[in-house]
Structure 1
Amino acid sequence: MLKVSPPPTSVIPLKSVVETEKKLSVEADFRLPALSGRPLPRRVFTSTYFDTLDHCLARSSITLRRRLDHGSAVWQMKLPPVHGARRELELRESSATPPAQFADALIVLHEGKHLVPIAELRTSRTGVCLLDGKRNRIEVVLDSVSVLRQGSVIQQFKELEIESLHGNDTEIETLASTLYGAGARPHDGRPKLFRALSLACHAPDDSDGDASMLDSIRHGLIRQLDTLKQCDPAVRLCGDMNDVHRIRVAARRMRTLLKAVRKATSPDWTEPLLPGLKWLGDIFALVRNLDVQMEYFRAESEQLKARDRRPLEPFLRHLQSDRELARQRLLSEMRTARYFGFISKLRDAAESPTVTDPKYTFTDAAARQFRTLRKAVRHLNANPSNAELHHVRILTKRARYAAELAQAGDGKGIGRFIKCAARFQDLLGTHQDAVLAERYVEGLLKYQGRRQAAFTAGLLAARAKQRRQEVRAELWSRWKRLKKRGNHTWS
């Protein structure tokens, strides 16, 4: 059993940035071309990287390092990239061993194993700072890296990086084209540590269409479990809303997978996992729901006049306070033996699925999920309740997830069904967001109670009702398309 530290009584503030980064390969004699920007001062720093001896962090695309720059030490953790952007967390701490704040946040990955120094890199950095069309900073830096072992240089290489905190993809690609013209080449994307240790990037392949049911189940579960473990540190350290969402989706996908293969697996293997996965999704649900509602009301506030928007500002702060309380409750659950025990249980189960009917396929499972959805819609009346539409949305999501499992065997036909199901699911998601928004609007009235707040609440309620009506107007035509696509795909 993992030893879980109690929550710290005082926490050193973290610096957190999300950086879009593009790496380029260069030869040893490469020089930066003239760029229209301000030269950056030359820096020389030494980074000591920490991991377990079997590279648990590296296998999850996470790096942990202690950087010494001009005698000042900071600890930095880089989390896995998402859509080309990567979160970097920095802790100003002088200790020579990983701070408890970071070590505890990584516990699901290192599982109690010691984090030890695995590489030491000295970097000499030069570069240029440019401004894009919106006056946002973009840095182009040239790093000359020396890999050290007991003070001696055992390897050297150079690489270029284009970095932005504002996701300026177009500007980054324009700069990359200029640098390619100066002799740079495409990069394989590996962090410096991976290059120093000759490690490959961990990128799980899609399941082979010819894989056995046992291998497909194992692959599907391990892939989602890896996502959960990669996102866990960011939820612990900064409550990142995207990582909260990704963990909840991973739990749902694993639950859908297990339900889809019930007919092909032993109940003794499948059934004990389902309640735990439901619990796992539920403990992340409240934080996720509040994130969705805050996004909803922020978007709505932009459509209101300044006077009508004012009552929303304290209400959004109230929702943010509720979200922080919900996150603290979530963190308490994530520190429990139940949480760690269930992650271990999932890992063990994923490694050894018990298949009783090897001829059953994910195509069979996906067809069964679609038939369940089709039957549920058939029993709806012309004006279904909000709860009924929410249930149909859940069934649509399960049908889509099951189809994604089957897609390896028939990419194009199933892919069209998946896209159609995703659009139908998004439509019903818009309806559910509006339903929840109307409930939160009632909270706005209770929280504010003033005449202006009542007027704003009335506007928001009317807009939410209009959204629900628009969804219902499209519902049956959208369903007709999905039904036709499903009948064609799963016939």
Structure 2
Amino acid sequence: MAVPTQQMEIERKYDAERDFVLPDLSRLPGVASVTAPRTYALVANYFDTADHRLAAHGVTLRRRRGGDDAGWHLKIPAGPDSKNELRAPLGRPQMVPARLAALVAWSTRGAELRPAAVLETTRTVIELLDDEGRVLAEVADDAVVGQVVLDGGEATAEATVPATAWREIEVELGPAGTPELLKAAGKRLRKAGARKGGSSSKLGRVLEPVMTVPFGGRPVSPELPEGSAGAAVIGYLAEQVAAVLSFDPKARLGEDDAVHQMRVAVRRIRSALRSFAPLLDARRVAPLEPELKWLADALGEVRDLEVLRMRFTDRLAEPHGFEVNGTPSWMNALAASEASAYRRMNAALKQSRYFDILDALEALLTHPPLSDRAERAAAKELPKLVGRQWKRLAKKYAAIATADDPEEARHDVRKAGKRVRYAADLAAAALDDIDKDAAAAASGTARKAKTLQKVLGGYQDGVIATTYLKEAAARRGTTPAEAFVLGALHGWERHEAFDSLSRLEETWERIA
């Protein structure tokens, strides 16, 4: 399946009256010349679910004819003034490209994509160029007529929602543009009579009469007592759920570090539900635990192989006493395993089980499962609960000395340390505006837990690496030269792993 082309779109929109005259933009910072205006007639058919789930998340999916970028366009928010735009060829009018549909599955969750609106735009474009002829920015002056499509059918004059017409000025940074230019252009447009755009999207303006929530305004949790422990926990969970949704399409595309960040967000949610369990209704929260673990494991397979590949790539690039010509067969095998893991991950992210998890997480935010204790002050409750996690960590550490399986015991300590760190991070952020001393104490606890986690992580990563290298050396087809390199790397990894382990006792004494 073809991967859609993508680019980062950084722009600002301004509303203007019909008689607005575009000011002279040739003297903006860095601008050497302005191209002659070009005019296009654009027709865009937007697609969404019947209940406008894409719009609720600030996402737009359209098939546009006309202009020099005709085709399917998927835009996903990436920041206050930026969007990640992915494109695909025009194809068939009513058939959304499968790859684009997959990238919004986190929002549609199995619901059908169908026509939602039609926008007809008369666009006049000029480009701002530097002294080398590079495009700094594109300024589009749009006269727009938009019509809601009801029940997935054709937009008609008899539709109950009237057509909407307006004029809009859009400034989009080019490859050589800077945020300073974007700001200066906006200032010049406002001085000439334009106003900051009332909507971040043309589609949002058209759908406003039929939207149950504002465009891009996901349902939020109800008002909770200010400064309460419950408000702090739900606010933190909302940030992590947003991170899961944000990194989902990036993980599907295999973008750098996306799987890792999505997995971390899932782990932080799991950790918060455990660490702050006394503030929550156990009956509602308990069913999420095995589901979040399943999701973390689905992401974890990719991430573990990704870490190994990057680790060995760096190792082979470092100075050593042997030469490696080309890419070793065992590295190719590792890359193939990672690609297979990505396919399994993407299959998991298409399952209704995953969509049910997302629904449950959003329900947790809109109808928080809080206990009576959650109404207590965060300044009192959060430090207690972080302290409880530290005591649990200390108990896990003490158990190493008498454990039948020290490896498993150390792994338990590492997981407990991670839970302390996440809980302390939550407390530090929540208490920063309430109690500076308590926030500082929580930050200190998080740093201590991270220090311990780093030592144990260094050991664990080395153990995983040596295991893989040993298996690769035993694989049929490994040449003597490759076996020598694998043996050298094995010794290197083993030395570093036990060097990390040797620092464990001293580290614990220092932080405990």
Shorter-chain TM-score bucket reads 0.7 to 0.9
1:302 aligns with 2:331: no
AA at the equivalent of 2:272: L
Report if aligned partners of 1:445, 1:454 keep a CA contact under 8 Å in 2.
yes
Aligned with 1:376 (options 380, 396, 402): 396
Paired residues of 1:260 and 1:365 also in contact (CA < 8 A): yes
For 1:190 and 1:452, the matched residues in 2 are separated by 62
Tell me the distance in 2 between the aligned counterparts of 1:88 and 1:446.
Answer: 45
Q: How has the CA–CA distance of structure 1 residues 182 and 263 changed in structure 2, closer, same or farther, with 3 Å as cutoff? A: closer
Cα distance in 2 for residues equivalent to 1:188 and 1:436? 53
Specify the alignment match of 2:243 in structure 1: 227
Q: Following the alignment from structure 1 to structure 2, what is the Cα–Cα distance between the partners of residues 436 and 153?
A: 60
C-alpha displacement of 1:109? 1.4
1:16–1:87 Cα contact (<8 Å) kept: no
Equivalent residue in structure 2 for 1:344, among 350, 356, 359: 359
For the Cα contact (< 8 Å) 1:400–1:422, is it kept in 2?
A: yes
Match for residue 75 of structure 1?
Answer: 72
Residue 480 of structure 2, aligned match among 451, 454, 460? 451
CA distance in 2: counterparts of 1:305 and 1:127, whole angstroms: 52
Residue 56 in structure 1 maps to residue 53 in structure 2: yes
Q: Give yes or no for contact 1:241–1:288 (8 Å, CA) kept in 2.
A: no
Deviations 1:133-185 (A, max 9, x none): xxxx8752222233323598822222322244xxx9xx835655776897789
Change (3 A) 1:39 1:341: same
CA shift for structure 1 position 292 = 1.6
Unaligned runs of 5+ in 2: 148-156, 158-162, 209-213, 433-438
Counterpart of 1:321?
A: 336
Q: Aligned with 1:79: secondary structure? A: strand
CA distance in 2, matches of 1:385, 1:85: 49
Aligned to 1:292: 307
> 1:326-370 deviations in whole A, cap 9, x for unaligned?
222223333334333343344444424152544663333222112
Q: How does 1:22-37 map to 2 (within 5 A)?
A: 23=12, 29-33=22-26, 35=31
Give the structure with higher Rg (CA): 2
Deviation by residue 1:67-116 (Cα, 9 ceiling, x = unmatched): 22348741121233179975432221333335151335434413416543
Q: Find out whether 1:461 has 2:457 as its counterpart.
A: no
Q: Once the two structures are aligned, what percentage of the paired residues are identical? A: 22
Residue 500 of structure 2 corresponds to 471
> 1:82, 1:385 → 2: CA distance?
45
Q: Compute the displacement of 1:398 (Å).
A: 1.0
2:424 corresponds, among 403, 411, 431, to: 403
Give the Å deviation of 1:392.
Answer: 2.6
**Aligned counterparts of 2:323 and 2:92: Cα–Cα separation in 1:** 51
SS in 2 for 1:35: coil
Separation in 1 of the partners of 2:129 and 2:457?
Answer: 42
Q: What is the CA–CA distance in structure 2 between the aligned matches of 1:253 and 1:341, rounded to whole Å?
A: 19
1:106 to 104, 107, 110: 104
Letter aligned with residue 108 of structure 2: H
CA distance in 2, matches of 1:404, 1:210: 19
What is residue 88 of structure 1 aligned with on the other side?
Answer: 85
Residue 148 (structure 1) aligns with: 145
CA distance in 2, matches of 1:319, 1:131: 48
Residue 119 of structure 2 corresponds to: 120
Whole-angstrom distance in 2 between the partners of 1:41 and 1:163? 17
Cross-structure match for 1:487: none
2: distance between equivalents of 1:131 and 1:450?
56
Q: What TM-score do the two structures reach when normalised by structure 2?
A: 0.73
Q: Do the aligned partners of residues 40 and 190 (structure 1) sit closer, same or farther apart at CA in structure 2, a change above 3 Å counting?
A: farther
Equivalent of residue 439 in structure 1, options 467, 472, 475: 467
CA separation of 1:114/1:17 partners in 2, compared to 1, >3 Å: closer, same or farther? closer
Q: How many residues align?
A: 462
1:47–1:68 CA contact under 8 A, matched in 2? yes
* 1:276 to partner: Cα distance: 1.6
Q: Which amino acid aligns with 1:371?
A: K
In structure 2, what residue type is equivalent to 1:162?
L
Cα 1:357/1:303, change in 2 over 3 Å: same
Give the Å deviation of 1:259.
1.1
CA RMSD of aligned residues (A): 4.4
Pairwise CA distance, 1:286: 0.6
C-alpha separation in 1, matches of 2:496 and 2:13: 46
- Preserved CA contact (<8 Å) 1:73 1:94: no
Map 1:275-286 → 2, pairs under 5 A: 275-286=290-301
Distance between the aligned counterparts of 1:93 and 1:222, measured in 2? 37
- Partner Cα distance (1:478, 1:189) in 2: 55
Q: Confirm or deny: 8 A CA contact 2:117 2:146 kept in the other structure.
A: no
2:446 aligned to 418, 422, 445, which one?
A: 418
Give the conservation status (yes or no) of the 8 Å contact 1:212–1:358: yes
> What's the counterpart of residue 392 of structure 1?
413
Residue segments in structure 1 that go unaligned for 5+ positions in a row? 1-10, 484-491
Q: TM-score, normalised by structure 1?
A: 0.76
Post-superposition offset of 1:275: 1.5
- Cα pair distance change 1:182/1:188, threshold 3 Å: closer
One-letter identity of the residue aligned with 2:469 = V
Q: 1:397-451 CA deviation, whole Å, 9 max, x = no partner?
A: 2112212332354224123433454454345434433332222222442456223
Q: Deviations over 1:364-385 (max 9, x none)?
A: 3222112212332344459x95
Q: Distance in 2 between matches of 1:61 and 1:306?
A: 54
Per mean C-alpha deviation after superposition, the further-off stretch among 413-422 and 292-301 is: 413-422
Kept after mapping to 1: 8 A contact 2:469/2:489? yes
Q: Deviations over 1:264-301 (max 9, x none)?
A: 44432232221222112112211111122222222223
The letter for the 2-side match of 1:450 is T
The one-letter code of the counterpart of 1:402 is: A
Contact persistence 2:275–2:389 (CA under 8 A): yes
Over residues 9-52 of structure 1, what are the superposed CA-to-partner deviations in whole Å (9 max), with x where a residue is unaligned?
xx4x1223353736587986344436369969957455444334
Could you say if the C-alpha distance between residues 147 and 467 of structure 1 is closer, same or farther in structure 2, counting changes exceeding 3 Å?
farther
Contact 1:434 1:468 in 2 (8 A): yes
Residues 138/385 of structure 1: CA separation in 2 closer, same or farther (3 Å cut): farther
